[in-house]
Amino acid sequence: MKINKLIWICLIAVMAIISTCKKVEKEMLVTTGTVLNILTTSAEVSIKILDLGEGATQYGHCWSTTPGPTVSNTKTERGIPEIGDFKYSLTSLVPNTKYYIKAYISRGNNVAYGSEINFTTASADLPELTTTAVTGITQSSAVSGGNITSQGGTPVTARGVCWSTATITALTNNKTTNGSGTGSFTSEISGLSAGTTYYVRAYATNDGGTKLGNELSFPTNSDTPVPPMVTTATVTSITAISAVCGGEVTNEGSSPVTLRGVCWSTSANPTPANFKTDNGNGMGSFVSNLTGLLPGTTYYVRAFATNSGGASYAYGEEKSFPTAAVVPTISTVPITAVTSTAAKSGGAITSAGGAPILGKGVCWNTTGSPAFNDDKTDDGIGSDSYVSNLSGLAPGTKYYVKAYAKNSAGTGYGDEQIFTSADAPDVITLDPASITNTTVIYNGKVNANLGSSVITFEYEKWEYGLEGYSMSVAAVPSPVTGSAWTDVSAAVTGLISGKAYHFRIKAVNVYGTTYGDHIVFTTTVKDPDGNVYTPVTVPGGNVWMKENLKTTKYANGNPIPRKLTTVVYPDDPGYGWYNNDSTSYKDLYGALYNYGAIRNNSVCPDGWHVAADEWTTLINSLGGNAWGGKLKETGTVHWSTPNTGAANSYDFTALPGGTWNSFYNYDGIGFIGGWWTMTTDLLDKPIRVLMSYDDVVIYTPGSDATEKNFGYSVRCVRNQ
């Protein structure tokens, strides 16, 4: 009896030990995605596998027409699962039916389900439509179409008309294709035989099938062409360069009129080969606008029409009219030979305006918009170009000059030319060139006005206003002599990336100093790959890039040597795109870099550096590590739910770009954002900045030697 008791005690102890040592198995985890592209018998579903447990062997979706589907109902079997997002189509569904569906993952009889969702397949109803009346009938073509008033159970994917020489009961091979969707459409029917009766029906196709509209019939035209009949309208609204005419087609002849209008010329019997209007087709009255006429010129005009039967043009009666004269058109010759008291100009008459030139020359004043009553030259009559000598000028004075020419309609003026008599130089500030993050080339033009001028460019940050020109640089060439316009430039370095500057040209000679207009430009924020970044000012006063760095090159243009790999080289520079997919992840999340790529702080573009103590300044300015939500992008488009505390209060737009981790793969997209810093902790380990989808805290852990090969995002800060 004592022996039996001892045996029982031993058995109980062994069972306790076994229970204590029982292995805790990992759970399988899956989420049901969405249902998209729902048609009558198919739909597209998605699934997200989060955990494979102890080795899942199957996954897919199960569904039924009643709530609570399981794998004992209808299901898909997609094979051995992997972690990630997947999408595929369900088929053989029943139209207009509500289904309940779950994602699942299984290992033997052990099954894990996602949440239950439901959807209803589309109805198999066909579209509703009518056939449009047949018009534009010729010997070989016609115009019809249709109007789809309802798409039915699913969107219309094809539409058009079909035709035959016999009544139509099903879609024929002779058909047009006129796009998709509901509403009206027009169809061109071609390849018909003359003098033949045809039947036509509109059609529309959706996922449920094809439906035909009502049937119409029409005969094509016969072979014998008869020209149309047309009359010419009275010419009205005559100006120097335009007039209004028109006509009326009183009979189309043997086939529809395909073109009608008026034609005109400076000779009698004009044809469409001269000048013409296009006033459409068909019968009835039409109005034609004659444009591009010459002033003081007699024109001949008549209406015309032609039809599709092949007959020649038919014409209405011919009418004639003269256009009115206008003031001459003239351009002012550029100012030359400027001295302190004289200059040369002149004029080139491009149009006499339809009447003889009675006088010409140039006029000038010192206030602008000179006219005939100001100082002027008299350079004779006729339409020839001429040279004018301006005299009696005051030294160092700005003058405004225009050429003039007179005829019976009045006085025409050329463009206004401006010059300054010899004194201080003339200058023009030109647009800058070769703008980079930190450099620019200033450009300008200088006319020394017969003197010798020393040239410089003055510049300053735009934020200091128009009066602030605290910096200057010598132009090349300098000095500039003579009265010819000379291009000058100056290369400037040391500018601040993403800053607005203004500059102007300055010229000095013995007569005085002249300044050009100021021009404002902004330096770029661009890396050697050409990627452009947006500067944003955040608490603490520093200017950051709004986006993660995405360059594959150092600031000097040298490539970062390698991609992230399974080989651990903590000091060997490397970068990578999440899942090695630059197309999907580069523009939004940027690249992931190991510490070797940033350790020399030369990966940011010129004028920028990898954020270091600026992270500490920013975090402290937020109120501490517990206020990281102020930096995260809001919403759950990129951050996974719940994106705790996200506010993006300062447009910093922190994103969950994931990491390259200790398992030598990419992980965490949507769940974690990680950034390298150039700061180290007390153990000289580089500090990283981490943010999570389910937390507001900013974590700043150090990293050991192995972790230096991990891949994290990089944010750059402006140097000044």
Closest CA relative to residue 552, chosen from 580, 587, 528? 528
Closest CA relative to residue 85, chosen from 36, 44, 37, 30? 30
> What mean pLDDT do residues 41-61 have?
95
Give the amino acid at 36.
L
Exposure of 286 in the CB half-sphere (CA atoms within 13 A):
25
**Alpha carbon separation from 6 to 2, 3, 244 (Å, rounded):** 6, 5, 125
> What mean pLDDT do residues 224-229 have?
78
Query: What is the model's pLDDT at position 701?
Result: 86
Residue 567 CA to residue 321 CA, distance in Å, equals 90
What is the number of residues in the chain? Answer: 720
pLDDT over threshold 80, residue 8: no
Residue 710 CA to residue 691 CA, distance in Å, equals 16
Instruction: Read off the pLDDT of residues 393-435 as tens digits, 9 standing for 90 and up.
Output: 988 789 999 999 999 899 999 999 998 887 788 899 999 999 9
Are the beta carbons of 218 and 137 closer than 8 angstroms?
Answer: yes
| DSSP code for 652 | -
Instruction: Show the CA angle centred on residue 394, arms to residues 392 and 400, nearest 5°.
Output: 85
Phi, psi of 108 (to 5 degrees): 65, -130
Query: What is the model's pLDDT at position 454?
Result: 92
| Sign of the dihedral defined by the CA atoms of residues 373, 376, 382, 385, in that order | negative
Query: Would you tell me how many other CB atoms lie within 10 Å of the CB of residue 6?
Result: 10
Query: What is the model's pLDDT at position 566?
Result: 63
Closest CA relative to residue 88, chosen from 110, 73, 103? 103
Residue 367 CA to residue 549 CA, distance in Å, equals 56
Closest CA relative to residue 480, chosen from 516, 513, 509? 509
Residue 380 CA to residue 344 CA, distance in Å, equals 16
pLDDT over threshold 70, residue 324: yes
Helix or strand (DSSP H, E) at 19: helix 2-20
Q: Which of 366-380, 671-685, 705-719 has the highest mean pLDDT?
A: 366-380
Q: Tell the burial category of 262 from Cβ atoms under 10 Å away from its Cβ (0-12, 13-18, 19+).
A: buried
The three-class DSSP label of residue 719 is: coil
Residue 201 CA to residue 161 CA, distance in Å, equals 6
Instruction: Read off the pLDDT of residues 241-278 as tens digits, 9 standing for 90 and up.
Output: 999 999 999 888 778 899 999 999 999 999 999 999 99
* Predicted TM-score (pTM) of this structure: 0.44
Q: Tell the burial category of 20 from Cβ atoms under 10 Å away from its Cβ (0-12, 13-18, 19+).
A: exposed
Are the beta carbons of 258 and 306 closer than 8 angstroms?
Answer: yes
pLDDT over threshold 70, residue 224: no
Closest CA relative to residue 566, chosen from 688, 710, 672, 702? 710
pLDDT over threshold 50, residue 628: yes
pLDDT over threshold 70, residue 570: no
Instruction: Read off the pLDDT of residues 18-28 as tens digits, 9 standing for 90 and up.
Output: 444 444 468 99
Q: Which residues are CB-contacts of 193 (< 8 A; sequence separation ≥ 6)?
A: 140, 220
> Which domains does the chain possess?
28-120 (2.60.40.10), 128-219 (2.60.40.10), 229-322 (2.60.40.10), 329-420 (2.60.40.10), 426-522 (2.60.40.10), 535-718 (no CATH)
Residue 449 CA to residue 510 CA, distance in Å, equals 11
Which value, to the nearest 10 degrees, does the dihedral of the CA atoms of residues 566, 568, 569, 571 take? 110
